Chain A
Amino acid sequence: MTSLDRRDFLRLGIVAGPAALVAGCGWDGGPLVKSKLATMSRLNDWVGENILQSSKRLAKVYQVSARSTAMPAYHISREMPTLDVAKPWALQVGGEVKAPAALTLEMLQQLPRVTYTVKHHCVEGWTAVATWTGVPFSAVAALVQPTDRARYARFDSFDSDYYNGWDLASAMHPQTILAYAFNDRALMPDHGAPLRLYSPIKLGYKLTKYLTRVTFTSSRPGGYWEDQGYPWLGGI
């Protein structure tokens, strides 16, 4: 009898395990599970940043003919964020830097210029190939001279409170640019005019549009989606 009971108990356990899991579907896990998942996500970020990421690895560059016919565009504001023409725009670059600067679009366009046709990976699973032109982030960094304490970069926007935090290695990657042109034309509001962050080594939600400010920081900045649970690194 005892062995039968034990067997039944084991059987129950085997059925109950996956059943409990399935019953939990559609449910976000509750605060306890959510915090455990967040811990695992940080572990994956660490692995992504320290093991699976090489600052030298360049994303594949495509022919212009490989461009996608459409490039979806998102913003979180109810209306498309557009620049107030009455107020002059300049990118504020500061934080852990020796020489903070306010850079107008003209000044940014005087800096080294990079144009590439690359594949965009959205966290949702779709991709699209497009051409982007802009100034390498590293060129802007050279201008403001980050201090030794700078380990991250925070990007703020005028799309409501959308912002992102990046590891400095990814920001300094040669293909990470502050883009002012899309498919050979000046950036339009749908893609983040006047200036957006772009890089083929990160998922789309890491690529802050409608930039207002770049801040070098010593502590890890969050991000609009990252604060809600999306993986922080978003490196691909």
Chain B
Amino acid sequence: MTASPLPRVRRHHALVRLTHWLNAIVLTGMIASGLQIYGAFRHFGTTMTRLPVPNPFDGYTFPEAVRLGGWLAGGLNWHFALAWPLVITGLTYLGFLIATGQWRELLFRPGDVRPAIEMQLYYLRLRKEHPPQGKHNALQKGAYTFIVALGAISVLSGFAIYKPVQLHWLTSLFGGFELARYWHFVAVWLFIAFTLVHVSAVLLADRASLPSMITGWYRGRFPSHD
């Protein structure tokens, strides 16, 4: 190994790394089985009345390669089985953030709006210098707060369409069964969009963050924290 001028810092706790990768795998399975389930009724609304909501996938059958379960019952069984590790992983991660106080570094607050804009300008090459940052910059905070909220919305809208009678209050919160089913589907595309941005940012802006999510050690451009 050649000597590096960059310091090596401890970045991610083992629990964060474990839940991160578990979540990546489980979420892949949730989306694939969800697309299988969607195939049984490829619209939003009742039988005759379509909801006036945009859906580029209306009537579309997703290719077999991105579906999990083989048929509706298989898709449902995968989906309802994977919901357990999804929720458990999510709650473990949130519990960890709360117990350690690390949520403070991740929660996007009103004060982060301005730094987030500066960061965006930097990424768009409209600003030359990288704005100063701690463990995470404001844009990252926004992204990580968004993804936790998205996870919560996915799980809650999932329960809303799983038990629309028993949990009718939750279903109503999402605007009724048909709309809850739509929000559940929109969440999929937001997850996919997030993943694309997230992976691109890692590869383009800070490659050292990838090994740090595996080994826990970070040796890169932004070692200021810890």
Q: Which residues of B contact A18 (CB under 8 A)?
A: 24-25, 28
Known pairs A22-B28, A26-B64, A121-B164. 11 more at Cβ < 8 A? A18-B24, A21-B29, A25-B69, A28-B69, A29-B74, A48-B163, A52-B167, A68-B47, A123-B72, A128-B47, A200-B165
**Cα–Cα, bound, A129→B177 (Å):** 12
**What's the interface size class on B, roughly?**
35 or more
| Chain B residue at minimal CB-CB distance from A44 | B80
**Cα–Cα, bound, A22→B74 (Å):** 15
B4 at interface, CB cutoff 8 A: no
Q: Give the contacting residue for A40; candidates B25, B49, B80, B178; CB below 8 A.
A: B80
**Cα–Cα, bound, A124→B37 (Å):** 7
**Cα–Cα, bound, A7→B84 (Å):** 29
A122 at interface, CB cutoff 8 A: yes
Interface of B, secondary structure class, is: helix
**Cα–Cα, bound, A37→B37 (Å):** 16
Asked if A21 meets B32 with Cβ closer than 8 Å, knowing A72-B47, A127-B47, the reply is yes
A201 at interface, CB cutoff 8 A: yes
Interface residues in A1-56 by Cβ distance below 8 A to B read 7, 10-11, 14, 17-18, 21-22, 24-29, 36-38, 40-41, 44, 48, 52-54
Contact A37 B21 (CB under 8 A): no
Interface residues in B75-102 by Cβ distance below 8 A to A read 76-78, 80-81, 84
Q: Give the contacting residue for B41; candidates A17, A24, A126, A229; CB below 8 A.
A: A126
Contact B41 A125 (CB under 8 A): yes
Q: Give the contacting residue for B84; candidates A22, A40, A127, A228; CB below 8 A.
A: A40
| Chain A residue at minimal CB-CB distance from B62 | A25
Q: Which residues of B contact A111 (CB under 8 A)?
A: none
Task: Report B's interface with A, CB cutoff 8 A.
Answer: 21, 24-25, 28-29, 32, 37-38, 40-41, 43, 45-49, 64-74, 76-78, 80-81, 84, 162-168, 177-178, 181, 211, 214-215
**What's the interface size class on A, roughly?**
35 or more
Task: Report A's interface with B, CB cutoff 8 A.
Answer: 7, 10-11, 14, 17-18, 21-22, 24-29, 36-38, 40-41, 44, 48, 52-54, 57, 59-60, 68-72, 119, 121-129, 200-201, 225, 228-231, 235-236
